[in-house]
Chains A and B, each alone.
Chain A
């Protein structure tokens, strides 16, 4: 493989690194060495694969969306069915990896942040499975718009703590989790939910998520005897996108497309399109792009989808964008909502509002592409959790 980021200090080109208060540095360094050791350990990887297969139900299907393809009349669309994983999204992939690492490090208490609740549910799930104490931080607004997941986390035995600061969404949940970590570093493992934060998280979460792209590679070769022309994934922090992109980075003929949340439109103040509208900054432990004002104050983002409602993006996406290896675009709330309905009606698959952004991009672009164009869309999660949000918008009482 030619592509070889990050470097040993956790930099993807100029992005990434470790930016944290001194109290966290020893804990981060401990994590770096534990991770460096685990990623090369056969026992560790064997155990992880055991759970991927027997607990999560991997590999997830690569499904030819025939009706959607015919309806759009252009590119041939495959869906990578991460929604079929146990807990209903790709988040379980990095949760299993990290809980095994936490166990290996002798930690007894797990903390996590969550936006849409998918990462929180997956974290609570692996904590139940491995009998660890679990504390999840979620913005008050996100708890409200993702009620089913909030209840699931509690059911799984997690302590769900509503975050009442700032925009009361994902950004504030990350900050609260980091503050918890600083205050309880002796026994606590911070199980971060995306390819963001200080090194080694972006690299570690990417490695755990890369199983998605590795499977796609194998599956598409069997189905089509060639690699796809394009791969589409939604991007908040960027975990599902990196997972499906990373194994294809060296295959330059496969176009990689990340879809950010345009909210009410990227020319309004209500969006979460970090790469479209952000500038370089240092926040939540990393150097990357952030939505911020001229004085470097972080601006509260907005998206219909709680999982994309984040003002930053993982450092590797920043590199892939700036080196033009991946292309990033944005889909607004109403386009995502239409895709939510369209996929439900045409394929009998209710996508998460996050994944609906990727589906919407396919709906928008596939008609203009030739029929032999193979497009893989990462269906990162299922939409059961979103029925209340969508119901409310459509005026349906649930």
Chain B
């Protein structure tokens, strides 16, 4: 059974919402990035969305772009991100990892090799921001592996298209809560309630909201109708704000993560 499915099943049994964070692989550096993954999973994060930096991240705002640029400057590579996951998996075999990235990286690496290596290194989900539903057949061979290809729905995806996209959804449906890029606007719960409910009426997999969820309060509002949330830019900013004091950084992050579990 896919680790994502298992995690969601357990949460459901306990009547809990999923809490996830986005981390940029290799930010602020390879070692700290590995420590941050463990810090997150040790502080109640149910699954990790791990970003592979791209030189021109069109869906990301300034904060995540900055983290990506720093990661790339410090040598982030697809291979290194795979190593990072492998190393994390040496001690953590239970927290699902979703690889988040842009299609050009995968296309360039070679789709078949890439998927095979995701699988052998312990990745459980794949989220490709700029690969629309119509082009997902390019990743068809993902079906050979125990990896869920995560579909994205935006606030402007209409009903008909939403139904089509979620029809065979695996893992979870990623609901993009804002019309925009990461870290720029705050999600408006009133506007998205209907959309999430519509998605839920068309699929059995959980609906997880991301983009514009910057604190625990916002997450709680969204969780009234979503099955969980992902926080990205706010966490990356916390890392960046404390970049010169690792101890302080970890302390602040721990505090931040704990607020979501209350």
Q: Is B170 among interface residues, defined by CB-CB distance under 8 A?
A: no
B157-A26 in contact (CB<8A): yes
The answer on a CB contact under 8 Å between A297 and B55 is yes
Distance in angstroms between the alpha carbons of A26 and B176 in the assembled complex? 14
| CB of A200, distance to nearest CB on chain B (Å) | 14
Asked if A20 is an interface residue, CB under 8 A from chain B, the answer is: yes
Interface size of A by Cβ–Cβ distance < 8 Å?
Answer: 38
Instruction: Say whether A20 contacts B130, CB under 8 Å.
Output: yes
Q: How far is the CB of B48 from chain A (nearest CB, A)?
A: 21
Chain B's interface size range is 35 or more
Cβ of B72 and Cβ of A297 under 8 Å apart?
A: yes
Does A182 lie within 8 Å of B157, measured CB to CB? no
B108 at the interface (CB under 8 A from A): yes
- Whether A183 pairs with B184 at a CB distance below 8 angstroms is yes
In angstroms, Cα B107 to Cα A292, docked, is 12
Kindly state whether residue B169 has any CB partner on chain A within 8 Å. no
Chain B residues with Cβ under 8 A from A1's Cβ?
Answer: none
Q: For chain B, what secondary structure do more than half of its interface residues adopt (helix, strand, loop), or is it mixed?
A: loop
- Chain A contacts for B107, CB-based, 8 A: 280-282, 287, 296
Q: How far is the CB of A372 from chain B (nearest CB, A)?
A: 47
- Nearest-neighbour CB distance to chain A for B191, whole angstroms, equals 13
Contact in complex: B104, A283 (CB < 8 Å): yes
B residues near A57, Cβ cutoff 8 Å: none
State whether B154 touches A21 (Cβ < 8 A): yes
Listed residue (A183, A290, A298) with the most chain B CB atoms within 10 angstroms of its CB = A183
B104 touches A282 (CB 8 A): yes
Inter-chain contact B104/A18, CB cutoff 8 Å: no
* Chain B residues, Cβ within 8 Å of A283: 56, 104
Interface: B217 (CB within 8 A): no
B residues less than 8 Å from A182 (CB atoms): 58-59, 179-181
Partner of A298, one of B56, B61, B154: B56
Q: What number of residue pairs across chains A and B have CB atoms under 8 A from each other?
A: 112
Identify which of B92-100, B131-139, B228-236 touches chain A: B131-139
Query: Is the CB–CB distance between A22 and B58 below 8 Å?
Result: no
A397 at the interface (CB under 8 A from B): no
The A132-188 residues at the B interface (CB cut-off 8 A) are 165-166, 171-172, 175, 178-179, 182-186
Given known contacts A19-B135, A21-B152, A175-B58, A296 and B179 CB-to-CB distance under 8 angstroms:
no
Whether B103 pairs with A23 at a CB distance below 8 angstroms is no
Would you call A346 an interface residue if the criterion is a C-beta within 8 Å of the partner chain's C-beta atoms? no
Q: Does B245 contact A (CB under 8 A)?
A: no
A186 to B176 CA separation, bound complex (whole angstroms): 16
Q: How far is the CB of A188 from chain B (nearest CB, A)?
A: 11
CA distance A183 to B181 in the complex (A): 7
The answer to whether B200 has its CB under 8 Å from any CB of chain A is no
* CB–CB B56/A21 < 8 A: no
Chain A residues in 8 Å Cβ range of B61: 179
Chain B nearest CB from A19 CB (Å) reads: 5
Chain A residue with the shortest CB-CB distance to B185: A183
Q: Decide if A23 touches B179 in the complex (CB within 8 Å).
A: yes
**Out of B103, B105, B154, B185, which one reaches A22, CB within 8 Å?**
B154
A296 and B108 within 8 A (CB): yes
B65 at the interface (CB under 8 A from A): yes
With contacts A21-B129, A26-B154, A282-B107 known, what are 18 further pairs, Cβ within 8 A?
A19-B130, A21-B59, A22-B132, A22-B154, A23-B154, A23-B155, A175-B56, A175-B58, A178-B58, A179-B180, A179-B181, A184-B179, A186-B179, A292-B104, A295-B109, A296-B54, A296-B108, A297-B105
Q: B residues engaging A (CB < 8 A)?
A: 54-56, 58-59, 61, 65, 72, 77-78, 103-109, 129-135, 152-158, 161, 176, 179-181, 184-185
> Could you list 12 A-B pairs, sorted by A, with CB under 8 Å?
A18-B132, A21-B176, A22-B152, A23-B154, A23-B176, A26-B157, A26-B158, A179-B59, A183-B179, A183-B185, A281-B108, A283-B56
